Amino acid sequence: MEHTRALLAAALLTSAGCETDAATSTDNQELRSAVQVSSATALGDALANLGSGDEVVIVADGDYGDLELVGRNFTADVRIRVASGVRARFDKIRLTNCSHILVEDVWVRPTTAQPAVRIEGGSDITIRDADIGFADHAVGWSAADWNARVSVGVEVVDSNDTTIHRNYIHHVTTGVESNGVATDVNRNDINYFSDDGVRPHGDASMIRSNRITNNVKVNGSTNVGIQSVSRGPTGAVGGGRIDDLLVWGNTIIETTDPAKPFGAPLQGIGFYDGVYGDLFIAQNLVSVDAWRGIAVLGSDVANVQYNTVIDSDPLSPRRPDVSIEDHKDGRPPLGSRLRYNLAARVGSNPAVNAYGNIVTAGSDLPVFFEDHENYDFMPTSSVPNNRGSWRHRNMDGTLQDAARRHGVVAGGGLGSFMCDATSTDALCDLVSDEFELVTPNNALKWSALRPVEGTFNFSRGDAQVAFAQRNGQIVHGHTLLWSAFNPAWLEAYRGDGVALAGLMDDHIQTVVGHYRDEFPGVVTRWDVVNEPLTSSGAFRSDSIWSAVDSGVGPAAYISRAFHAAHTADPDAHLVLNDFGVEFGPKGDALFALVQEMKAEGVPVHGVGFQSHYDTSWTTVPTRDDISEMMEQYAAIGVDVHITELDVRIPSPVSAAEQELADSFYESVATACFVAPNCKTITSWSVSAANSWIDTLTGYTPYHPFDAELRPERAYWLLRAGQ
């Protein structure tokens, strides 16, 4: 799954990182080094003169013929994009044995029936935000016209780490076809196709959050929304194996146009020819009038779960299924699960672990869905929350989309991995796509910023804040003061309250001021003090900062730190952060402290509920506990932030402990979404691929995404109520 993790880099970063137009805020630096062209000749010259990479060619309005590059390999992405507000047309695009090229916003209209975009060989190619089709419309077309005038929208042949992202691909035979390793086809709108919507034939590929609609039947081909075919050593269909495919969050609708000519049944997702290893098909919506809704014939560990398969025409005899079946040669599926789907038919292969599925009838549609006739498949209260593709109104949504509907910001911790404005790490790109806020877990702590006395090193922190800035995200600065993670040289001052006060003031003013000036509007909030209390609610006597005394009492350094941070950035939201404060003596003590600080005019704006949970603990807060504590803070005008949410489970994981772990995520999410003063939910480690819990012996980490960056049940629970 290394390719799958690397693959997200090419796609998820682009999806959040380039929403801003290059002529505006984030690309001002880019424009100083960009080449702007307005003719095919100028474009050819600009491309011929590109250096090693990290360059931009901006194309003006006009027709440019073919875009063809052969053997062009760069060390960083070369970006070919269209100027804002104009249309640049290409007849076709051919990228052969190239690497690190990004093409965006182009308009491709082939003049002959050959693939509109063909990527062959090479690696790290991205096509995004393009309009790709063989016609603007097909009004008046005959079947012969369809067969003669169209071809594949995007064809990927033996190219690795290719990303096809957020394009409109229409009036084609097949929208996207790829045999390359680690192809990511995501958030595309594929409309009016005469064969298949997407054909993924390469290992470690992802088909996610696409909308595939309106097939036409103009020849003998069977139309399938997403179809994968393996080939054996001799090229025989079905004789091979494809591993690590992810098919997630797609919407496949047979027709949204009742007047569409050449209508015919569309099969939803069909993996009919081969052995599919480690296959994950989840959270897809399929609305078709065909026998096949989601079908896998031949699997070696497949999970088909949380999908909804709708019979779009209850009056016809066809009932689309969801099933995992034997290979065509008779081999039974291995290690496969079919669970929590909602479908017109559910398979019953005895070799498959099937449970939690619901079979629907045509009469159920108005009962189960808000407005199925208008393609609104939001489940009603009649559908259990863990059945089918839960809450389909926003199938291509993310955690940040779901949270935003409740006025909550979804955050992700950057952990120990590095992210910067040019990152190609899949974890970084997962964060850029799913979250509105990021927290540099370690890069802004004393030991990282001040490893040597007398100097500040902002390089690591600046890189991570620049990453957020590029992606249009905000940053929760963590943390200005803590009893831990301090440089060794600071220990020489332990007990010297006067010296520590000066060091503290200088540090806060320098760090907060730096990010206020260098990245205006990005670091909008700070954990000013982290973990000041013991489990009993007393002040930590082991904190080096406890020696600071300005004559105000045992919390003197806390109040002083907040005043210093407010002076450095009056617009910043200042937070007091601790764990185990949702209830009990420690929770009461923190509330009393904050209430006292507010009464004394200390600029404390929020509290952080870290929300680290362990399923082996005998006492944990309930949803009611969390809600009640949030209400107390609301009464004194203080916001609450879930700052470091995660769950650890003793190994091996039992079913009961897994259920308990799920309940923690559900309790936190539902309590926060209801509370008007709960403003943030941040997952401290977003994935088990890089979890601090791995440093603890005997524990299994449980985060929104697993080690392969696939969504866990926790992910869907955090999207609850969207």
- 475-501 pLDDT per residue, tens: 999 999 999 999 999 999 999 999 999
- β pairing state of 639-650 and 699-702: antiparallel
Alpha-helix residue ranges (DSSP H) falling in 479-530? 497-518
Q: Which pLDDT does position 385 carry in this prediction?
A: 52
- 671-703 pLDDT per residue, tens: 999 999 999 999 999 999 889 999 999 999 999
Domain boundaries defined on the chain: 401-718
Q: Which pLDDT does position 33 carry in this prediction?
A: 63
Q: For residues 89 and 435, what is the distance between their CA atoms, to the nearest angstrom?
A: 34
Structure tokens at 38: 């307005």
Q: Which pLDDT does position 5 carry in this prediction?
A: 27
Task: Say which of 177, 436, 582, 644 is annotated catalytic.
Answer: 644
Structure tokens at 483: 């009893």
Strand order in 131-133's β-sheet?
Answer: 62-63, 88-90, 107-108, 131-133, 168-172, 189-193, 211-215, 251-253, 285-288, 308-311, 342-343, 358-359
Q: What is the mean pLDDT of residues 223-227?
A: 97
Write the CB contacts of 531 (distance below 8 Å, at least 6 apart in sequence).
Answer: 482, 483, 484, 540, 577, 578, 579
Residue 8 has pLDDT above 50, yes or no: no
Range from 22-36, 263-277, 671-685 carrying the lowest mean pLDDT: 22-36
The values of phi and psi at residue 52, to 5°, are -85, -10
Residue 159 has pLDDT above 50, yes or no: yes
Partners of 608 in the β-ladder? 577, 641
Structure tokens at 718: 């955090």
DSSP 8-class letter at 237: B
Range from 168-177, 425-434, 625-634, 661-670 carrying the lowest mean pLDDT: 425-434
Residue 393 has pLDDT above 70, yes or no: no
Closest CA to 446 of 499, 483, 495, 500: 483
What is the full DSSP assignment across 631-672?
HHHHHTT-EEEEEEEEEEEESSPPHHHHHHHHHHHHHHHHHH
Structure tokens at 402: 């779901």
Residue 131 has pLDDT above 80, yes or no: yes
Closest CA to 110 of 87, 135, 140: 135
Q: Residue 6: helix, strand or coil by DSSP?
A: helix
Return the percent helix, strand and coil in the chain, to nearest 5.
25, 35, 40
Task: Say which of 104, 531, 708, 712 is annotated catalytic.
Answer: 531
The alpha carbon dihedral of 128, 133, 137, 142 has a sign of negative
Q: For residues 557 and 553, what is the distance between their CA atoms, to the nearest angstrom?
A: 9
Q: What is the mean pLDDT of residues 707-716?
A: 80
The values of phi and psi at residue 218, to 5°, are -125, 0
Q: Which pLDDT does position 417 carry in this prediction?
A: 66
- 527-555 pLDDT per residue, tens: 999 999 999 999 998 899 999 875 444 57
DSSP 8-class letter at 406: T
- β pairing state of 206-208 and 246-248: parallel
Higher pLDDT, 13 or 353: 353
Region of residue 124 (left: phi > 0; alpha: psi -120 to 50; beta: else)? left
Q: For residues 566 and 549, what is the distance between their CA atoms, to the nearest angstrom?
A: 19
Mean of the per-residue pLDDT values of the chain = 88
Q: Is 427 exposed, middle or buried (0-12, 13-18, 19+ CB in 10 A)?
A: buried
Residue 503 has pLDDT above 90, yes or no: yes
Residue 563 burial (CB count, 10 A): 18
Structure tokens at 528: 């000013």
- 174-183 pLDDT per residue, tens: 999 999 999 9
Peptide bond preceding 479 in cis form (omega within 30 of 0):
yes
Q: Which pLDDT does position 656 carry in this prediction?
A: 87
Q: For residues 665 and 412, what is the distance between their CA atoms, to the nearest angstrom?
A: 15
- The strand ranges marked E within 231-320 are 241-243, 246-248, 251-253, 267-273, 275-282, 285-288, 292-297, 299-305, 308-311
CA distance readout (Å), 61 to 37, 94, 128, 529: 9, 20, 18, 53
- β pairing state of 321-325 and 123-128: unpaired
pLDDT band for position 283 (50/70/90)?
confident
Superfamily of domain 401-718: Glycosidases (3.20.20.80)
| Contact criterion met (CB below 8 Å) for 90 and 117 | no
Q: What is the mean pLDDT of residues 650-672?
A: 91
Residue 316 has pLDDT above 60, yes or no: yes
Residue 531, CA atoms < 13 Å, CB-side half-sphere: 18
Q: What is the mean pLDDT of residues 605-619?
A: 95
Structure tokens at 256: 């949204």
Q: Which pLDDT does position 21 carry in this prediction?
A: 28
- 404-415 pLDDT per residue, tens: 888 999 999 987
The values of phi and psi at residue 262, to 5°, are 60, 35
| Residue 491 is a catalytic residue | no
Closest CA to 228 of 205, 258, 255: 205
| Contact criterion met (CB below 8 Å) for 106 and 146 | no
pLDDT band for position 424 (50/70/90)?
low
Q: Which pLDDT does position 315 carry in this prediction?
A: 86
Q: Which pLDDT does position 14 carry in this prediction?
A: 28
Residue 585 has pLDDT above 70, yes or no: yes
Q: Which pLDDT does position 64 carry in this prediction?
A: 97
User: How many separate helices (H) and strands (E) can be counted in the chain?
Assistant: 15, 49
| Contact criterion met (CB below 8 Å) for 599 and 637 | no
Q: Residue 12: helix, strand or coil by DSSP?
A: helix
| Contact criterion met (CB below 8 Å) for 288 and 322 | no
Q: What is the mean pLDDT of residues 652-660?
A: 89
| Residue 666 is a catalytic residue | no
Q: For residues 208 and 11, what is the distance between their CA atoms, to the nearest angstrom?
A: 11
Higher pLDDT, 720 or 20: 720
